[in-house]
């Protein structure tokens, strides 16, 4: 689906143009075209490939999706893949945006995602002095928007981790906490897979040899890298905390199991003593003196009860019951 196809000149919007006029617009001096597609079809991508002279391997990656975040150069054209993460019913749905950046064009292809970039376009159009940098600044604005959307996700993970930590020593909550922690760790890993590769991407966009299309906006990509460093540092810290919390919960489970085992062992010992006494008087030998004693039965019951009470009191003092 075609979302936008807009021509810009000297940092100002010229007009929305049909796809058929892209070629003529690109030939105009100081003009670039910004096209946005969503879940593009093969026919749409083939048309974009003809208009912008895109490399077939990059077009194939944009169509198939499920790519690792990356940056590749095909001649004067950059091809980048960024991950879009959306919370959905307690789970995270991961989509992608593939961005083609040339000297006088930007093509973004959004796949499997409901997130849009209308706010990015509005931001760029409000800053014509920066939009004069052309396609390189638009590429920065798109990447900056994607990275900034990772911060609320990280904040949500930290908030959920704090809630779990508050319940970590509640009796009987260890198993549930472990399940929640593993789910949290899985989401943190998803965020890390989206953010960590972009550090390598931004390294290529400022300092040293910078692609010609990004000349003049290196400092902006350095700012994006600073954000990514903060995000990745937060993710690493969180993963360490989650690992520690899981170990604590496993220890709590072991402690609770040990408490249960002690109680069972204590009751087993109480009944073992009773069983031993009953077994002694249940042998029925002919010359057992207690068998014909008038108070033998009462004495036997008393001995059993006394032994059981004594054992219970002893285990109670020891904290086993």
Angle subtended at Cα 242 by Cα 241 and Cα 247, rounded to the nearest 5 degrees: 100
Return the pLDDT at 286.
Answer: 65
Confidence (pLDDT) at 287: 63
Classify residue 168 by burial, with Cβ atoms within 10 Å: 0-12, 13-18, 19+.
Answer: middle
pLDDT of residue 290: 66
How is 132-168 classified by DSSP, letter by letter? Answer: TTTHHHHHHHHHHHHHHTHHHHHHHHHHHHHHHHHTT
Q: Are 217 and 136 in contact (CB under 8 A)?
A: yes
Domain 1-130 top-level CATH class: alpha beta
Distance CA 105, CA 22 (A): 9
Q: Exposed e or buried b for every residue in 45-60, given b needs 16+ CB within 10 A?
A: bebbbebbebbeebbe
Whole-number pLDDT of residue 22: 92
| Domain 256-317 in the same topology as domain 1-130 | no
Angle at 84 between CA 144 and CA 128, to 5 degrees: 30
Dmax (CA) for the chain in angstroms is 123
pLDDT for residue 100? 96
DSSP 103-127: TTEEEEEEES-----HHHHHHHHH-
**CB 72, CB 58: distance < 8 Å:** yes
Q: Which residues of the chain have pLDDT under 70?
A: 281, 283-292
pLDDT value of position 41:
93
Q: Which pLDDT score, from 0 to 100, does residue 29 have?
A: 87
- pLDDT of the residue at 284: 67
CATH number of 256-317: 1.20.58
The pTM (predicted TM-score) of the whole model is 0.80
pLDDT at 196: 95
- Within 12-69, residue ranges assigned H as helices are 22-26, 42-52, 56-64
Write down the pLDDT at residue 222.
Answer: 93
Could you tell me which residues come within 8 angstroms of residue 243 by beta carbon, excluding any fewer than 6 positions away? 185
- Going from N- to C-terminal start, the domains of the chain cover 1-130, 256-317
d(CA 263, CA 161): 33
């Amino acid at each position: 689906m075609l979302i936008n196809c807009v021509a810009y000149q000297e940092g100002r919007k010229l007009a929305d143009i049909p796809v058929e006029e892209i070629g003529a617009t690109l030939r105009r001096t100081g003009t670039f075209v910004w096209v946005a597609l969503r879940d593009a079809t093969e026919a749409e991508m083939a048309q974009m490939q003809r208009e912008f002279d895109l490399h077939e391997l990059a077009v194939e990656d944009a169509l198939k999706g499920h790519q690792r975040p990356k940056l590749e150069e095909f001649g004067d054209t950059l091809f980048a893949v960024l991950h879009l993460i959306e919370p959905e019913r307690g789970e995270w749905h991961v989509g992608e945006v593939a961005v083609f950046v040339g000297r006088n064009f930007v093509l973004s292809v959004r796949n499997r995602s409901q997130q849009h970039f209308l706010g990015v376009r509005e931001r760029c159009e409000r800053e014509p002095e920066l939009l004069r940098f052309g396609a390189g600044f638009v590429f920065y604005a798109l990447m900056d928007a994607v990275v900034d959307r990772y911060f609320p996700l990280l904040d949500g993970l930290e908030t959920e981790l704090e809630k779990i930590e508050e319940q970590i020593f509640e009796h009987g909550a260890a198993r549930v906490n472990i399940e929640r922690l593993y789910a949290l760790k899985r989401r943190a890993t998803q965020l890390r897979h989206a953010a960590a590769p972009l550090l390598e991407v931004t390294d290529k966009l400022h300092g040293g040899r910078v692609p010609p299309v990004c000349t003049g906006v290196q400092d902006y990509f350095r700012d994006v890298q600073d954000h990514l460093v903060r995000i990745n540092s937060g993710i690493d810290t969180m993963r360490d905390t989650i690992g520690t919390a899981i170990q604590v919960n496993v220890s709590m489970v072991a402690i609770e199991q040990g408490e249960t085992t002690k109680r069972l062992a204590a009751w087993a010992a109480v009944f073992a003593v009773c069983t031993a006494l009953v077994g002694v008087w249940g042998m029925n030998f002919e010359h057992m003196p207690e068998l014909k004693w008038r108070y033998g039965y009462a004495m036997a019951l008393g001995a059993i009860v006394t032994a059981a009470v004594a054992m219970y009191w002893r285990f109670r003092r020891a904290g086993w019951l």
